[in-house]
Amino acid sequence: MERILSNRPALDPQELIDGGAGGEEEAGDGLEEDGEDVQDGYSEGTGECPYPAETEVKLEYPTVPIPIPVKVTVGNNSTSVRSHNTNHSAGNLSARAPKRARKRRANFPMEKLMEQFLEQSAQAEDNFYRMEEQRLQAEDHRREAEHARELHMLQMLGQMFSSISSARPSSAAAPSKPPTRPPVISSTSPSCTRGPAAHLRRPSPQTDCFTQQSQPLGTDPKALVFDRYYSLGSTSHRGMDEDILSLVKSTVPPLTSKKHKGQDGRIGIIGGCREYTGAPYFAAISALKVGADLSHVFCTKDAATVIKSYSPELIVHPVLDSPNAVEEIEKWLPRLHGLVVGPGLGREDLLLKTAKEVIEKSKARDIPIVIDADGLWLVTQQPSVIQGYQKGILTPNFMEFTRLYEALHHEPMDSSDYQRSVLQLSVAMGNLTLVLKGEQDLITDGNKVYSCSLEGSGRRCGGQGDLLSGSMGVLAHWAHAASTAGMIRSMNPSVVAAFGACSLTRQCNSQAFQRHGRSTTTTDMIQEIGSAFKKLFES
């Protein structure tokens, strides 16, 4: 009722006063004619609306009785006129009409006012019910639509489940295409014959512990593809995640008070020129944050001061563009456990020539080498510089991968099948470990393809690849050391390191994004290395 009343047209009190005044005027006329006081109509009235006999007004009363309190002000006097029950009033009105004809004439304006008011009230109620009906209809439509959507989703789910259950037997029957099968990682398998130095040899199907996936390339390259979907967030893959994670964990050297500075890793970065000072810094500081004890940057003279100013923790050698650059760097090689070539190196011939010679000398010393960025430009020009080196890892982004693939295969790669392409390129590079970075990082040593798709974020700021290569430099050293010690037998240590670094980079990205959102930068990711590492490899 409150809502009905609130819907009624606003009555201007001034109108009522004016109406009352008009009534008085007319009543005055009536008094002259009838000799009766206007006020009598009210004082004698019973509270019902008086009705003019000569005016035919048809009132449609609402079915629900509506008590309508109306306060009418006439002059200085306030008179309450109450319509208790409109039905009741109607009956009274008709019964009393002849008796009160004269008075009604006198009260005509007030009656008209009341009549209008009642009409408006009835109309307001009608409007209310009409709107309420419309609202209920709209609500019904909404419920129907919701129900239909739920049904549709249930149907889709049903279809998905039925297709999954029907696909299972056929994929099991087709070993040449095993993308959903978990990897067999077993340190006790007798077929796994990788010894401490086995990764230095080109793996053969006979010696590889993943023999059930290994087939000669050429028959059906897809048959070699082992697609491992790595997602920590998904419970369905948790068991598989732990297989590789536990391998990475096993390579992490324990923190003890028995070691001296440098024993957990001395990493060298070959890169840093006038244009690019950030990239070598990111790589070098990431290596430190992952757990290397010392991080050396070999850069050009004009980049050195800049890089040093970023961090006092880095050892910076301004030698890359000096005439005896190779000799200067070679002096340090016996002390280095891992090398990262390329971040911010630039593409000047002289610098690329120095990088090439340093790679050759590092190979001779059996140092794990990660090649990224402009180092990959060099490999594209001269693949033999790293071809077949089992402690080498290439980390191309899509663009770098495309260049490299075309340089090796003399034809564009099949962009509909990256797993096949990455596998082919690795084989062409002598089973070199390769990481094709992207939405999923595809990792292979030419035997199978591992996919690291741990959730990162949608943020693609520059330098994430440098964090990856720097941390990979350390993990590669640890993995090869663990392999030499006989702690990793079931997998290529380069692949283990690559997988660990990809997971770490993505975890850093995810954590930094949670804190900084759109404004996440590589510096923010680097700050997450400690906790991301702990979460992945120390819990």
Ligand X SMILES: Nc1ncnc2c1ncn2[C@@H]1O[C@H](COP(=O)(O)OP(=O)(O)OP(=O)(O)O)[C@@H](O)[C@H]1O
**Residue ranges in contact with ligand NPW by CB under 6 A:** 276-279, 343-345, 373-374, 397-400, 462-463, 465-466
Give the whole-angstrom CA distance, residue 343 versus residue 464: 11
463 binds ligand X (CB under 6 A): yes
Which of ligand NPW, ligand X, none is residue 344 near (CB under 5 to 8 Å by kind)? ligand NPW
Q: What are the residue ranges of helices labelled H in 35-78?
A: 38-43
Binding pattern to ligand X, positions 361-390, x when CB under 6 A? ------------x-----------------
Question: What contacts 301, CB < 8 A, 6 or more positions away?
Answer: 318, 319, 321, 322
Which residue lies nearer to ligand NPW by CB, 185 or 352? 352
Q: How far is the CB of 273 from ligand NPW (least distance, A)?
A: 8
Which residue lies nearer to ligand NPW by CB, 74 or 304? 304
DSSP-assigned states of every residue in 302-363:
HHHHHHHHH-TTSEEEE-TTSTTHHHHHHTTGGG-SEEEE-TT----HHHHHHHHHHHHHHH
Instruction: Count Cβ atoms within 10 A of the Cβ of residue 285 and give its class: 0-12 exposed, 13-18 middle, 19 or more buried.
Output: buried
Give the whole-angstrom CA distance, residue 283 versus residue 268: 10
Which residue number is nearest to ligand NPW in terms of Cβ?
Answer: 278
The dihedral over CA atoms of 272, 275, 279, 281, expressed in degrees to the nearest 10, equals 60
395 assigned binding-site residue? no
506 binds ligand X (CB under 6 A): yes
272 binds ligand X (CB under 6 A): no
507 assigned binding-site residue? no
- Angle, helices 374-381 vs 349-364, to 10°: value is 80
344 assigned binding-site residue? yes
476 binds ligand X (CB under 6 A): no
466 binds ligand X (CB under 6 A): yes
438 binds ligand X (CB under 6 A): yes
399 assigned binding-site residue? yes
Q: Which span sits near ligand X by CB under 6 A: 138-146, 151-159, 244-252, 499-507?
A: 499-507
**What residue ranges in 18-165 does DSSP mark as E strands?**
68-74, 77-83
Q: How far is the CB of 508 from ligand NPW (least distance, A)?
A: 15
Question: What contacts 272, CB < 8 A, 6 or more positions away?
Answer: 279, 280, 281, 297, 298, 299, 300, 303, 304, 307, 320, 343, 344, 345
Q: How far is the CB of 429 from ligand X (least distance, A)?
A: 18
Which of ligand NPW, ligand X, none is residue 276 near (CB under 5 to 8 Å by kind)? ligand NPW
What is the binding site for ligand X (CB under 6 A)? 373, 397, 437-439, 441, 456, 460, 462-466, 468, 502, 505-506
